Amino acid sequence: MLTHKEAKSLFDECRNKSRGYLLAHKTHIHMRGRSCAVRLYNTDIVIIRPDGTYRINTGGLRTTTTKRRMNHVLPCVVKQQNGLWSIGDSFFQDGMLVGHDGVVVGEKIPLSYACKTKREVDRYCKKFIALVLDMCVTGLIEELLAFKKYHLPNHNNKKHLNDLWWNEILDAVNENKRIGRLPYGFYHRLMKWAYLSMIERGHHDNEWCWSHIRRACNKGDCYMVRHNLQVFMRKRKVNMTQMILDKCKTDADSPSVSVSYGISEKELEMT
C-alpha cells in the first residue's frame, strides 16, 4: 500500500520531475495537481487523491503487470477469477474508486452477476464457433480468400467488440435457434471471422494456410479453424462481458440485453 503522503514524498525526492519517481520497471510517480499518479508506460493506472481514496484505470490493458503494480499501491487486492478481475465481491471496472480501507466506494457490480454474464458469453461464443465450423465443412471454405481486404482490429476496440457481439454472435446464434438454419447472407459474415482469427494467429502465408484448411475441412477436420477461433474469442470474452455489463448499467431497459439473457427487470436494476 502506498499512501498519498508517501507518494508525494517520493516524488519530491526525484531530480527529474518531468520523468517522475521510478517506482518499478516502466512505472513512475507523477503529480496531477494535488493528486499523485502511478503511471505504467503511458497510462495512469492509479490516482492517489489527497483524501486517501484511489482512482484506478487499466486503459484497456488488463495484464499481469498492471495487476501487480496496482496491488503494490492499493490498500486492497485485485484478484482474477474465470478471467474476470475483482476487488472483494465487486467486479473490477475502470474508473472505480477505492477507499483507504480497501472498500469500493459508490456504485458497483456484484462479482456473481459478472460471472453469470461471462458464462453466457462463453456459451454464445462456443455456439458461434460451431456455426463457423459448420460453414467450413459444407464447402464454403473456398470463399475465405475473398476476405484479404479486411484488417485485424485491436481486441480492445469498442466498435470491433460491438460489431462482433451485438451484430454477429447474437444475430447468428439467435437466428439459427429461431429457424434451425442460417440465411445465405450469414455465410460471408461468418467466414470473415475465420479469416481474422487466422491473421491474429500470425499465419502470414495465406495461400498455404487456406490450402491446408481447405483440405482439412473437406475431410471434416476443422482443428486449425477451431483453434484459431478459440484463441480469437478468448482474448475478447472479458472485454465483451465488460461491454455488456456497462450497457446494462447505462441502459437497464435495453430489450436486446433482457431478451438475449432472460435477465429480469429486478436483476437489471440491481446492477
Strands (E) in 16-83, as ranges, are 21-24, 27-32, 35-40, 43-48, 54-56, 78-81
Nearest Cα residue to 186 out of 196, 197, 174: 174
pLDDT at residue 253 in the model: 41
Residues of the chain with pLDDT under 50: 252-271
Under a CB-based contact definition with an 8 Å cutoff, are residues 19 and 37 in contact?
no
User: Helix axis angle, 185-200 relative to 223-250, nearest 10°?
Assistant: 100
SS3 at position 87: strand
CA count, 13 A, side-chain hemisphere, 198: 25
How much is the pTM? 0.75
pLDDT at residue 98 in the model: 93
pLDDT digits (tens, 9 = 90+) for 163-177: 899 988 998 888 888
Under a CB-based contact definition with an 8 Å cutoff, are residues 59 and 84 in contact?
no
pLDDT at residue 259 in the model: 33
pLDDT at residue 228 in the model: 86
pLDDT at residue 145 in the model: 60
